[in-house]
Structure 1
Amino acid sequence: MTEGEVTVAITSRAPAPGGGVSTTPAAGPPAPPPAPPGPRTAWAEGVERLRAAATTEPGRLRIIGAVLAALVLLFGTSAVWEVSDRVTAAEDVVGHSQPLSADAASLYRSLADADTASSSGFLAGAQEPREVRERYEKDIANASRLLVNAAANTDAGGDSRKEIALLGQQLPRYTGLIEQARATNRQGLPLGGAYLRYANEQMSTVLLPAAQRLYEAETGRLYKDYDDARSWPAVATLTGLLALGALVWAQRRNYRRTNRVFNHGLVAATAAAAVVLLWLTVGQTLARSGLSEARSGGQESLKVLNDARIASLQARAGENLTLIARGAVLAEDKTSDKYDVEFTKNMKELDSGLATALRLADDSSGRRPVQQAVDGVAQWKRRHAAARETDMRGDYELALPQVIGDKDHKDSSGASFDTVDASLEQAVAHEQEQFTQAARGGLGALGGLVTGSAALAVIGAAAALLGIGRRLSEYR
């Protein structure tokens, strides 16, 4: 062995069984003990217990009972949640959004009628009839009241709020112009006509467009509530079918294992779930039918009639202003009278609206006033044509009573307008009643469904647990 080399040999010598010597290597250091298992989570322990329980029939029955009760309760909860949303939307249709939409239409009509009454009073000059003045003041007061009501019931920050603020700001300016025109006209000054035309321009370019946008915004919210109320409760329907399927499967399993046809608890749970599902289906179907009828048979007719009434009011204002302006304001073609052109346009819209209203009217009570309005429009056109012909001949003094009427001219175009307006008001009232009845019928179809669903779901879940408990008692 040379220097630098190290040889280590560790052996132990002991006598071998045959008398020889056995050599074995020496034992090394001891191995470290195994690490203790980490802490188990509650979820892992729950899964382990569930797996262990599923190996025995009582354990499986307990799992089945818990699942059935949970499914029935889930069905009841989803039914209560979805039906509550639809009941709230239907209540909004009946008591909130539709009244606000109707108020917005009334606001538009009040403003248009005030403009018509102001021009009629102006044509009468210093001898303005008291009933015309009272009509104007009533329209302005009604418009102010409707604005206050809309401001109190409209959501803050919406488009409606902006239009309400604009109307509240501009309406006093309009009434101020009307008072200036009225005072100047009584003094016999021609400047009164200019004030009145400017007031009419403010009405037609600022106030009425704002009222129209307000009406469209409120009607849009109404249609949204319609859609929410009519939407089908899909989650409740799916969970109901799932709960019924699970209950039927559990009863079939019970029958195959015990040859017993019925388990009273499971049968009661199935009946409760079936009743809720059937009630939900029938109630929502009837609610959708009622709300659809309210929309197609009531709200759509109301919209058409409101538009027709507005067209008649604007036509009447144009007819009056034609006499007031006396050709001073020209249309875009620079040859025709602006207000006479507007009268013709509005009368065409009125004819179209009345034709649509007749088509939508679904009973004699609804058709009768619309037909009266149609006849009144035909008469109005004839009288207007006669008055216009007289005015075009230069006989203003004779044309004036043909438009506004007097003791010698009972058959004026103004009288025809009053007939049309009264007929349309009657038709609107009828359609509003039809809408309310249909909408309330749709809302009534959902009555009691929320409470009934909750109660039956609790009963069904308890019955399922009792039915499974009866089977478990057989193992004790």
Structure 2
Amino acid sequence: MVTQLETSPESSEDSWLDELESPPRRSLHGVLHGRRPVRASSRSVFIHTTPGQIIAVMVVLTVMLLAAGLSLSQSMYNRNHALDTVREATEPMSASAHLLSASLMRADTIAAGAFVQPGPLSQEDVQAYTASVEQAASSAAEIYKGAVQAHSASSERIEELVLDIQRDLPVYAGLNERAKVNQRMGNPVGVAYMSEASAIMRTRMLVAASEINELTRADVAEEMRRLSQPQWASLAGLAAALCALVVAQWWLWRVFRRRLNRGFLAATLAVVVALAWVGVSNYQSWRSGSVGYERAAQPWEELTAARIEALETRTDETFALLRRQSATPSSREFDEVSATVTTAIEDAERVGASSSLVDGARAHLGAWSSEHAQLVEALDTGSYDRAAALLDPRGGAGEAPFRALDSALSQLISESREATRAYIDDSLNATRLVSLVVAVLSILAVLCIWAGIRPRLGEYL
């Protein structure tokens, strides 16, 4: 004979803040023998008993907590892994794309400048040209490696463009070597070789490099926007599990007339902590990866574009002299480039760039503008010797301001890139350990609810 057991508040194992208003309304004996008919299936009979309903509720809660918690944990892990890929592959690939464009343009600028001076290039210019070509080759290899690792939608196109540049680079370098040899021998054909090399550079290599720049910048921006979006679906799942946990506690109160259960309270606290932790992480990731990154990326992109345009303009100045052309049309383009550089410097200053670099870049831009005006005047009046002196690297009259400007822009770009990487790092740091913490708290919540319900189930044994 099964005997109904009643539990007093003093003997209850979880009587903390419990108030026993009435004994349990049902006993296993009464349910099975007194109040409900015995059915053919003992399993269907058991599910209609209070212990059966408790166990069913516990199973549902367990499944919801584990599914929501582990799903959110996996989502956070995937986000952390994706941000790590952005930091280690996608963003460096974008930076290498800028270096590729700048190195190619700088090599072409130095090669063209060699023909406005008598005799061979100075040792400094030879080293600068060689370093630019080597940097271009190295950057192309880094971009290809990053495209393979990133597996983005544009990776295949980036790989094709890099291979095109790698095929054209030896051809370009070979034509420039022929141009230098003929120049030293005094053959006019040297200018033709140099012009052909520059045409390959501008019509093929720089076009490909520019497209790589656009693709890699778009990839980084898109990834940062995607990875900084709140995880609404996963958060909603965990919030639903929390609501189910609260409803289950209300149901237990209706059954047992005990208002609080330490196990369920601990589980509720664990879920609330998990939700708060993920919520704060999502907010920090959004602030760093979306708002902060976009704010820092804008001057970086503008500075890279301004530097490349400045290098192209410098090469155009050299070709105007070699071809004995008027520089008046290019002067209007120069004004546009000068405005672009000025805007980029102002944007860098607005986001906190070094004041000394900003002031220096402005001063060098002003000096280059003054030299350009003198160059236009010299070409228009046919004073080619004076124009050559302005563009002669060894003379220092015109090249020093441009080189100083190029150096200042390069440093501003490096500083801006560090700012963008800092926001990527902040977004990545916001997701660290969150996956593990959510998984542990979810499992802990499940253990707590089973530990909390154990005394209640024991009342029916």
Q: TM-score range by the shorter chain?
A: 0.7 to 0.9
Distance 2:352 2:345 in 1: 13
User: What is residue 118 of structure 1 aligned with on the other side?
Assistant: 111
- 2:390 alignment partner, one of 377, 402, 405: 402
Question: Once the 2 structures are TM-superposed, how far is the Cα of residue 368 of structure 1 from its aligned partner?
Answer: 4.1
List per-residue Cα deviations over 1:266-291 (Å, max 9, x = no partner): 11111111111111000111111111
Contact residue 66 and residue 465 of structure 1 kept, 8 A? no
Is 2:453 the partner of 1:465?
A: no
> Equivalent residue of 1:59, what SS?
helix
Structure 2: how far apart are the matches of 1:303 and 1:261? 61
1:193-272 map, 5 Å? 193-272=191-270
Whether 2:344 is the aligned partner of 1:359: answer no
Give the superposition deviation at 1:203: 0.8
1:307 to 288, 298, 305: 305
Question: Does residue 418 in structure 1 map to residue 403 in structure 2?
Answer: yes
- Cα deviations across residues 107-155 of structure 1 (Å, max 9, x unaligned)? 0000000000111122223242111111111000111111222223323
TM-superposition CA deviations, 1:410-442 (whole Å, max 9, x none): 4x2211101211111111121122122222112
Distance 1:324 1:403 in 2: 11
Contact 2:303 2:413 in 1 (8 A): yes
The alignment partner of 2:186 has SS state of coil
Pairwise CA distance, 1:50: 6.6
| Map of 2:94 onto structure 1 | 101
Match for residue 459 of structure 2?
474
What does residue 73 of structure 1 align with?
A: 66
Match of 2:55 among 54, 59, 62: 62
Cα deviation for residue 200 of structure 1 reads 1.2
Q: Hey, what does 1:451 align to over in structure 2?
A: 436
The number of equivalent residue pairs is 416
Alpha-carbon distance, 1:259 to partner: 2.6
Counterpart in the other structure of 1:435: 420
Is the 2:328–2:376 Cα contact (8 Å) retained in structure 1? no
Residue 140 of structure 2: aligned partner: 147
Residue pair 1:111, 1:208 contacting (<8 A) in 2 also: yes
Q: Which amino acid aligns with 2:324?
A: R
Q: Secondary structure at the match of 1:436?
A: helix
What is the rounded CA distance, in whole Å, between the counterparts of 1:58 and 1:381 in structure 2?
Answer: 88
CA spacing shift, 1:452–1:49, aligned 2, 3 Å:
farther
Worse-matched range after superposition: 382-391 or 413-422? 382-391
* 1:354-393 pair list within 5 angstroms: 354-393=342-381
TM-score between the two structures when normalised by the length of structure 2: 0.85
Query: Residues 51 and 301 of structure 1: is their aligned pair in 2 closer, same or farther, counting only changes over 3 Å?
Result: farther
Rounded Cα–Cα distance in structure 2 between residues aligned with 1:173 and 1:343: 32
CA deviations on 1:336-387 (whole Å, 9 max, x unpaired) are x5x7645642551342243144135345544542343233222212111112
Q: Distance in 2 between matches of 1:160 and 1:340?
A: 37
Cα pair 1:404 1:413 within 8 Å, conserved: yes
C-alpha distance in structure 2 between counterparts of 1:452 and 1:176, whole Å = 59
Tell me, yes or no, if the aligned pair for 1:118 and 1:133 is still in contact at 8 Å: no
Unaligned runs of 5+ in 1: 1-47, 328-336
2: CA distance between counterparts of 1:147 and 1:241?
A: 48
Counterparts in 2 of 1:347 and 1:118: CA distance versus 1, 3 Å: farther
Matched, 1:161 2:159: yes
Q: Structure 2 regions of 5+ residues with no counterpart?
A: 1-40
What is the identity, as a one-letter code, of the residue corresponding to 1:131? E
- Aligned partners of 1:253, 1:213: CA distance in 2, in Å? 63
Tell me, in whole angstroms, the C-alpha distance in 1 between the residues paired with 2:231 and 2:393.
Answer: 60
* SS class of match (2:117): helix
Instruction: Report percent identity of matched pairs.
Output: 24
TM-score (norm 1): 0.83
Correspondence for 2:10: none
Task: Confirm or deny: 8 A CA contact 1:78 1:235 kept in the other structure.
Answer: no
**Cα distance in structure 2, aligned partners of 1:287 and 1:404:** 51
One-letter amino acid of the counterpart of residue 210, structure 1:
A
Cα distance in structure 2, aligned partners of 1:274 and 1:464: 14
CA displacement, residues 35-60 of structure 1 (integer Å, 9 cap, x when unaligned): xxxxxxxxxxxxx8775333211110
Give the counterpart letter for 1:399 in structure 2: A
- Inter-partner Cα distance in structure 1 for 2:161 and 2:360: 35
